[in-house]
């Protein structure tokens, strides 16, 4: 069984997933709403995406535009990323926080060599950490 986050945007899915591809690399697939059969997409398709999927490593991050969404920030959830080393955690955290808001600066905690939280420029909450070293 696998769990894959699915994010809903209000018109910024294409920009968000293009940015995530820049940060994480991998393979990005996008299905524009304009490809939907007549009458199968509510309203004008514009630049909306019906579906986006970014596959990087063993991860799949998916999303779409929701033309009925309120455009407000995502609440009650966060995407958690565990980096293999501190330099990768810093790179990813800084890239995600660029243009967004740091809610907890990346710093050492009692459970992790580095942990931080931010909301990216698209309103998506992220938690970035480095796994604790194995006990000796």
What digits encode the pLDDT tens for the residues 112-127?
999 999 999 999 999 9
Pairing of strands 115-119, 6-9: unpaired
Collect the ranges in the chain with pLDDT lower than 50: none
CA 19 – CA 6 distance, rounded (Å): 16
Please give the structure tokens belonging to residue 136: 């000796």
CA 94 – CA 79 distance, rounded (Å): 15
Pairing of strands 59-65, 49-56: antiparallel
Check for a shared fold between 6-65 and 79-130.
no
- How much is the pLDDT for 133? 67
Closest CA to 95 of 128, 62, 57: 128
Backbone angles phi, psi at 88, to 5 degrees: -70, -40
For the chain, what are the domain ranges?
6-65, 79-130
Is the separation of the CB atoms in 30 and 49 below 8 Å? yes
- How much is the pLDDT for 116? 98
- How much is the pLDDT for 47? 81
CA 41 – CA 21 distance, rounded (Å): 26
Domain 6-65 = CATH 3.40.50.720: no
- How much is the pLDDT for 70? 66
CATH number of 79-130: 3.30.720.110
């Amino acid at each position: 069984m696998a769990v894959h986050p699915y994010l809903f945007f209000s018109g910024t899915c294409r920009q968000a997933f293009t940015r995530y591809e820049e940060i994480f690399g991998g393979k990005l697939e996008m299905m524009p709403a304009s490809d939907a059969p007549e009458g199968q997409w509510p309203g004008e398709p514009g630049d909306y995406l019906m579906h986006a999927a970014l596959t990087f490593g063993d991860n799949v991050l998916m999303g779409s535009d929701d033309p009925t969404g309120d455009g407000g920030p995502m609440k009650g959830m966060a995407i958690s990323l565990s980096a293999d080393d501190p330099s990768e955690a810093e790179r990813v955290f800084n890239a995600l926080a660029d243009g967004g808001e740091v809610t907890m600066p990346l710093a050492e905690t009692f459970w992790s060599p580095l942990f931080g939280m931010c909301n990216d420029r698209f309103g998506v909450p992220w938690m970035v950490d480095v796994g604790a070293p194995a006990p000796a």
